[in-house]
Amino acid sequence: MIKINDKRFLNNFFGLAKIGWSEAGLNRPSYSPAYAEGRDYVKKKMEDAGMKVRVDTIGNIYGRYGGTDPTRKTILVGSHLDSVPNGGIYDGALGVLGGIEALQSLHEKFGSLSAPIEVVGFIAEEASLFGGTFGSRAITGLAPLNQPEEAFKWSGLTCDDLVNARIKIDDYGAYLELHIEQGPVLERKNLEIGIPTGIVSIIRYKITMNGQQNHAGTTPMSERKNAMCPASELLTRWFAWADERLVKKDDFVYNTGVFILDPNSPAVVPGKASFVMELRSLSDKVGDELVAKLHEMVNASEYAAYSPTIEKIVNKAPVALHENIIATIEQAVKRCGYAYQRMPSGASHDAVAMAHFMPTGMIFVKSHDGISHNRAEFTTDEDMLKGVQVLTETVALLAE
C-alpha cells in the first residue's frame, strides 16, 4: 500500500474542524466569515503541499498537481466545506482534507503522475438560497442562471460569476468523493468501507390545505374549517399506506420535516396548513409510483372543501455511479485488505452533478450510530484513515 501521513491528515482535519465550531455544533455556512476562514485554512494546506491553488468566481477552491502526459485527463477528488446549522465536523470536510492528503502522499512518493490530479472544496453543497449542491452544479452548468435575486444579494455573486466558474468538462476523466456514510449500515455490519452504486432521487412536494382563519374561543366547533385537520389526516393516511407498501419491498424512504400553520397562534383557528413531503429512491419507476399515490390522496373528494394544492418544489433524478470506477475502488479496497460492500447512497452529494458529465465514484466510511447533520456526528480516526487510504490507492490505480 502507498503510505499516507496519518498524523498530518489528522492535524489538518481537526484544525479545520475548529473553524465555525461551538457547543451548539459546527456553523460554517457558505459565504460567511467562518466559511472564508475555513477556505483560507484549506488554501494554506494546499499551498504547503506544493499544489497550484485557485479559487473560482463562485468560491470553489482547487489544488492541482500537473501530469506528465498531456493527453491524459484530470482525476478530480473532493467534497464540500460548508455545514448545516449546528452540524458535525465530518460531513464534507473528510473528502476535502482526505483528498489533499491522498494527492500529497502520491506526489511525495511518485512526483508527477502521468495524469493531472486535482482536489476541490465545493461551496454551498448544503441547502441554501441557491438550492443544494450549488458549487458542483455551477461548475458543470447545471445551476440555472436565473437564480432568485435574494440569492445573488446574499452571496454577492452575479450571473457572470456562475458562467465563469464552469470547468472544461472534457478536461476531466473521473471524479471521486470520500464521505461519511451518514447512516448506520456499515457500523451495524462491521464493514470498513462502503462503495455506493448510485445516489437516490430527491423529490419534494408542498401540499397546502385552505380552511378559514377564525377565533379559537368563539367559533363553534361544528362551524370551524380548521385547515390543520385535513392536513394531519392526509399525513396519517400516507404514513399508513407507505409503511404497508414498504413491507412488500424496501425500496424508498419518505419524510415530512416541515409542517406550517398560518397563522401559527394558539388563539386562532388556522386558515392554512402546509407540509412538505420528501421522497427518495434509486428507481425512477418507484418515484413515479409514489408521486402518483400522493396526487391521488391529495385530490381525494373528502378534501375538496379545502381546495388542496400540490406543488413540486424539488425533483432530482437518481444517479447511477460508474461501474468502472466502482470496480477500481473495489480493487483498491482489496489491496488494503478492508471489509466492504456495495450499497446505495440515501443522501445527495456533489457526486450527483459530476456523475452527469464524467465517470464518478464514492467511498463511504462508518458513521457512529448513523448520526449526521448533528453535532454528535462521529467517525473514528481509524475509519477516516482507512477511507483516505482507499482514496489514495484508487487515484493511483486510475492514474496508472
Q: Please report the domains of the chain, with CATH numbers, ordered by start residue.
A: 6-199+318-399 (3.40.630.10), 202-316 (3.30.70.360)
Axis crossing angle, helix 33-48 with helix 6-17, rounded to the nearest 10: 160
Grid coordinates representing 75 are 482525476
Largest CA distance in the chain: 81
In sign, the C-alpha dihedral spanning 112, 360, 328, 11 is positive
The residues, ordered by sequence, that sit 6+ positions from 319 with a Cβ below 8 Å of its Cβ are 198, 199, 351, 352, 355, 356
Axis crossing angle, helix 284-298 with helix 228-248, rounded to the nearest 10: 150
Grid coordinates representing 48 are 504547503
Q: Round to whole Å and give the CA distance between 101 and 49.
A: 9
Q: For the whole prediction, is pTM greater than 0.95?
A: no
Residue 354 parent element (H or E): helix 351-355
In the block, cell 394558539 appears at 266
- Overall size of the chain counted in residues: 400
Model pLDDT, residue 319: 95
Grid coordinates representing 207 are 401540499
SS3 state at 372: coil
Per-block mean pLDDT, blocks of 10 residues, the chain (400 long)? 97 98 98 98 98 98 97 98 98 98 98 97 96 96 95 97 98 98 97 97 96 98 97 98 97 96 98 97 95 98 98 92 98 98 95 97 98 98 98 96
Axis crossing angle, helix 381-399 with helix 6-17, rounded to the nearest 10: 120
Grid coordinates representing 370 are 448513523
Model pLDDT, residue 260: 98
Beta pairing partners, 175:
76, 360
Model pLDDT, residue 400: 85
Model pLDDT, residue 316: 86
The residues, ordered by sequence, that sit 6+ positions from 386 with a Cβ below 8 Å of its Cβ are 192, 193, 336, 338, 365
Phi and psi at residue 177, in whole multiples of 5°? -135, 120
